[in-house]
Structure 1
Amino acid sequence: MSQPFDPSAIFGGGAGGDNPMAGLLAQAQQMQAQLLAAQNEIAAAEITGTAGNGLVTVTGTGAGEITSVTIDPKVVDPDDVDTLQDLVLGALDDLAGKRDALAQDKMGPLAGGLGGGFPGLG
């Protein structure tokens, strides 16, 4: 008769020994909780993009929702709609860049932590 498979022979643990996989699982669960907290913080953040030295501002959330657009009346010229459109696009682009920077700031340390415990992710 053959012996039954004993995972502790591969992963350690078993009769009174420590199981390194349990530690790795706990580390992964902790990182998952930190990742979720960072995602929630990013989604709740209010970010403002501007263009034309503040003549156009676009405010939104880290989740990508646009919550307001403000346009200074002095930039509204019916004969020059192209400039206004460019300013709105510029403010949206500024908002997107700030959202990306916020995500990198909050998620960067967590992404770096993945490489330490998981082969192929670092």
Structure 2
Amino acid sequence: MFPGGDMQKLLQQAQQMQSDMMQAQAELAQTEVSASAGGGLVTATVTGDGELVRVKIDPNAVDPEDVETLEDLVLAAVQAATEDAKRLASEKMGPLGDALGGMTGGLGLPGM
């Protein structure tokens, strides 16, 4: 079925790609992406794997009479930072994820 050791070579490539994917995931977890809303009044920071780690609010954004605007600014900043993190992850993991997804074919290999 796999003449000339092609199966062994295929398994080695899969293991290397899995290792590369794990390294990329670790790097993403350490990378932070920030985005702001309201001209910088609210800034959200998210890791490359999507964890919200910080929200910074400029005191000028705090108006006790208009809490809804602040809520909207926080939401917009978090959404923008999360979208940037997804884009970063896609750029970093894209080729690896596509290759592993297509190659494993749903075999349920560990870590994939």
Q: Secondary structure at the match of 1:19?
A: helix
Aligned length: 106
Using the alignment, how far apart are the partners of 2:31 and 2:67 within structure 1? 31
1:11 to 2, 21, 32: 2
Gaps (5+ residues) in structure 2? 107-112
Structure of greater relative contact order (alpha carbons < 8 Å, 6+ residues apart): 2
Superposition CA RMSD, Å? 1.9
TM-score (norm 1): 0.77
- What residue in structure 2 maps to residue 80 of structure 1? 66
Off by >4 Å, runs of 4+ in structure 1: none
Which of 1 and 2 has greater Rg?
1
Using the alignment, how far apart are the partners of 1:99 and 1:86 within structure 2? 20
2:80 to 78, 90, 94: 94
Identity %: 50
Q: Partner amino acid for 1:11?
A: F
Q: Secondary structure at the match of 1:79?
A: coil
Q: Deviations over 1:54-107 (max 9, x none)?
A: 110011322333222111111111111110000000011011101110110011
1:24 to 10, 32, 38: 10
**Bigger mean CA offset, 64-73 vs 103-112:** 64-73
Task: Using the TM superposition, give the Cα deviation of residue 119 of structure 1 relative to its aligned residue in structure 2, in angstroms.
Answer: 7.9
TM-score (norm 2): 0.83
Pair 1:108-2:98 in alignment: no
Gaps (5+ residues) in structure 1? 1-9, 13-17
2:34 to 35, 48, 52: 48
Q: Which has the higher helix share?
A: 2
Q: Secondary structure at the match of 2:63?
A: coil
Distance 1:115 1:79, change over 3 A: closer
